[in-house]
Structure 1
Amino acid sequence: MKTIRRTLTTIAGIAAIGVGLTACASGDGGASADGREEVVMWGSWSGDQVAQLNEQAGAFNDSQDEYRVKYVAQELVEEKLLTAIAGGQVPDVVLWDRYNTSLYAPKGALQPIDELVEEDSVDLDAFYQEALGELEVDGELYGLPLLVDNRSLYYNKQILAEAGVTPPTTWDELLTAAEALTVREGGKLQRAGFMLDDPGLFNMYLWQAGGDLLNDDETKVEFNSEQGLQVLDFWQRLLDAGVYEQGFGDGIDAFAEGRTAMRLDGPWQLSTYDKVEGLEYGVVQPPAGPNGDKGAGMGGFGLVIPQGAKNAEGAWEFMKWWATQPENGVNFAKIAGWIPANIEAANDPYFTEDEHLAGFIQTLEYARVRPSVSGYSDVEGKALIPALEKYLSGEIDAQTALDDAEQQGNRILEENR
């Protein structure tokens, strides 16, 4: 059994959080009932997803006789991890939203894995490099990318066919198609041609317009630009055309119920829509911007080992088994519908020959992750998205929204340097 390097880092500020953990949520480094070493995995996945993770963990457990992985769902898993470290009750491995790495690695919450990667000759080129980069901070790697996603364009085949509309490939085509697919009765919107309900997708529209979120050295925001205004102008054109209204579809899945013809969404919706009786749908790449630029955001999860994990050896074996062996990534897709971050696995015929998954795989060829610079998550959550929400509700104009977001965003970046 290899020795795992454990850095004895003093984690500033963590002790003040408290240690209110239940015993059942922690890893005790002990043995399971069959004598194997237990590997406790935390994650935020709940509901039906628990059974999916248990099935994947069971496949690992059946593949060898030394370790047994046990999944424990946690709300606010990142915050609870800090509490666990302070209290000495740490899981062995965490199903980790990669985007949080730049925030939590500097706090000492995660264990670097560079030595493990080198010792076991793990080929890092096997992964989507954008996903891998989200797990790197200051030249150190803190996990292996596991699952990737993006937002591609879902469309209702029957609705488009009845209107004589083909799936749009550009912004202009999207606007024209959405107008043709919109239904109003007595002036009231009955069916939206396109759902413009998520201002958090501004980044992908900005990339489609040829813009960027931050400047080259990632010290200033750059979305207050000609391209940023192009995005908001396009949104306004959609609203002015009446293809969507703020609040339409709230509380329901408008696409599943046939209340919208098109929407941008991720692969996590496939299992839901496949169960909707009578729903025939397709998935294609997001429409390109005014100059032909393509853009999409890449998100997803990785596996990380927390500082102080009692069974880091077993955690690493589980990480390697799942992330580096393509067949295991494909098998989990069959269980849960997620796309592997392992490129070979993602290009398996299971994905490329599937009428729904193929669109997401094509989009992954150019999908990008959000900046991993410290503080950027707050730039989006506290500056950009609130300003965009005010713009979409008509409270402020486009330039004011971008000006306000720029001012607050640059202040946040400065505070985090």
Structure 2
Amino acid sequence: MRRRHSVRLLGLALVALLTLGGVVLGQGTRITFIAQPWGAPDQALLADFTSRTGIAVEIISLPSDQLYSRVQIASVANQAPADVVYLSEEAPSFIVTPGFVRPLNDLVERDGAAINVDEIQRRDFWTIDGNMYGLTAYVQLVMLDYNAARLAQAGLSPPTTWDAFFNAAVALKQQGLDQYPIAFGAIDWSWFLMALSMGDPLFDADLNPTFNAPDSQGRRAMRLLERMFDEGLITPDVITGTTPHSIFWGGIGTLHQAWQGSLSPGNNPNISQQAPNVRQLLMPEEHWTWALDAAIGISQFSQNVDAAWEFIKFYLSPENQIAIFNGVGLIPSRLSAQDTINAQGRNQDFEVQVEQAEYVRPLPRQVTWWGQWTTEVVAQIRTMAAGQTSADAVIDTIAAQWLDLKSEFE
């Protein structure tokens, strides 16, 4: 069908872009690692890795959509987009199912004990039909954080309902304390976190939508997100893809769509103008959220598998995971690294995270159409944020798209 073959058609149309270039010349083995902007390893530790192993690593940093496009375009021509690939929630549908990622079973079987692979959490998400395509690099709950000082300045308490959340943002704007009080993206995640915490599971046990019922919390969440944009509570800059995190750290926004380790950068004065006032918030109302992990894997077409595997072992080392946490707040996938940052008090508001961990509801991110559907959800939300469609129309459209894709791929 048309959608099923879209990746291959894209590859044929853009074959001229397959010059992936940029590898630095020199002695020793050289590999490439393609990652999202927050996925780069600690530079000092990487230099030490190169010194010890002779393996030089070129880091290619791309936003998620460009990363997957690059992998797809190269892979349909049997070329490696990079030797090592960063895997986010869309990876199973976008690049694993088509066969673009190499299984790691043989490497893990050989070296798993030596690298203590058993302490790496949530590996099951990256294992499909018995093949392990990635090792978890970080584990995250999607959460909220906020500037406690600014909220107090407005005479407000941390909101426990979404109506209170919205009203707090209105008050902050009316008092002139924050022009754009809500730092949310024009993306699916903003809707997911609101709908889930309101109590909508989004899908039933048969993978049919629950969010499109007339009185569903998912519909309520989309309507509230629409109001946030319509009333100027979210900067329109996010419609073009600017991340809410850079906006928030730049000092704009009081209420922020965040993640489990977000206080590490949020309260770092070298990174954030919100420091030292950022605190985490238990999700309002029914409290539900979802886990949003990432992993690291090897291209099916890499000619440097051994070197790529050595890099993965380095990348997943406790030292590098702790360094990444210190930089951008990604919770290590290794239990020992988690224990270290918790014992040292680096993971701020840990007690809120423990409470939030009691309310985790998984989304069906392994279905083969997940990435395609979420891409369309983002497009619909951005159209709504620009005032070109309504929340109810978005809900009806994305529900129909889900059912269409489900019938096509099942």
Is TM (by shorter chain) over 0.5? yes
Aligned residue number for residue 321 of structure 2: 329
Give the TM-score taking structure 2 as reference length. Answer: 0.76
CA distance in 1 between partners of 2:168 and 2:11 (Å) = 55
Residue-by-residue CA offset, 1:193-236 (whole Å, 9 max, x unaligned): 43455352211222212222333243x33321322133245547
In structure 2, the CA distance between the partners of 1:313 and 1:165, relative to structure 1 (3 Å rule), is same
In structure 2, the CA distance between the partners of 1:26 and 1:213, relative to structure 1 (3 Å rule), is farther
Q: Percent identity?
A: 19
Superposition pairs of residues 387-402 of structure 1, within 5 angstroms: 387-389=380-382, 398-402=391-395
* Greater mean deviation of Cα atoms: 191-200 or 204-213: 191-200
Aligned residue number for residue 378 of structure 1: 372
RMSD (CA atoms) = 4.0
Aligned residue number for residue 80 of structure 1: 70
Would the aligned equivalents of 1:282 and 1:355 in 2 still touch at CA under 8 Å?
Answer: no
Superposition pairs of residues 229-308 of structure 1, within 5 angstroms: 229-232=219-222, 234-235=224-225, 244=233, 247=236, 255-256=248-249, 258-266=251-259, 271=265, 274-275=269-270, 276=272, 279-289=275-285, 293-308=286-301
CA distance in 2 between partners of 1:288 and 1:400 (Å) = 25
Structure 2 residue 15 is the aligned partner of structure 1 residue 18: yes
Deviation at 1:70, TM superposition (A): 0.8
CA distance in 2 between partners of 1:336 and 1:390 (Å) = 30
Structure 2 residue 156 is the aligned partner of structure 1 residue 160: no
1:284 is paired with a residue whose SS is strand
Residue of structure 2 aligned with 1:191, choices 179, 195, 202: 179
AA partner of residue 37 (structure 2): W
Q: Matched residue pairs, number? A: 385
Would the aligned equivalents of 1:184 and 1:191 in 2 still touch at CA under 8 Å?
Answer: no
CA distance in 2 between partners of 1:277 and 1:246 (Å) = 17
Structure 2 residue 312 is the aligned partner of structure 1 residue 319: yes
Superposition pairs of residues 192-207 of structure 1, within 5 angstroms: 192-195=180-183, 198-200=186-188, 201-207=190-196
2:103 is paired with a residue whose SS is coil
In structure 2, the CA distance between the partners of 1:248 and 1:318, relative to structure 1 (3 Å rule), is closer
Superposition pairs of residues 24-35 of structure 1, within 5 angstroms: 24-25=21-22, 33=27
Unaligned runs of 5+ in 1: 1-10
Unaligned runs of 5+ in 2: 1-6
Would the aligned equivalents of 2:318 and 2:334 in 1 still touch at CA under 8 Å?
Answer: yes
Give the TM-score taking structure 1 as reference length. Answer: 0.75
In structure 2, the CA distance between the partners of 1:71 and 1:55, relative to structure 1 (3 Å rule), is farther
CA distance in 2 between partners of 1:355 and 1:169 (Å) = 23
AA partner of residue 339 (structure 1): I
Deviation at 1:114, TM superposition (A): 1.8
Residue of structure 2 aligned with 1:406, choices 391, 399, 404: 399
1:298 is paired with a residue whose SS is coil
Which is higher, the Rg of structure 1 or of structure 2? 1
In structure 2, the CA distance between the partners of 1:287 and 1:41, relative to structure 1 (3 Å rule), is closer
Superposition pairs of residues 133-152 of structure 1, within 5 angstroms: 133-152=124-143
In structure 2, the CA distance between the partners of 1:257 and 1:378, relative to structure 1 (3 Å rule), is same
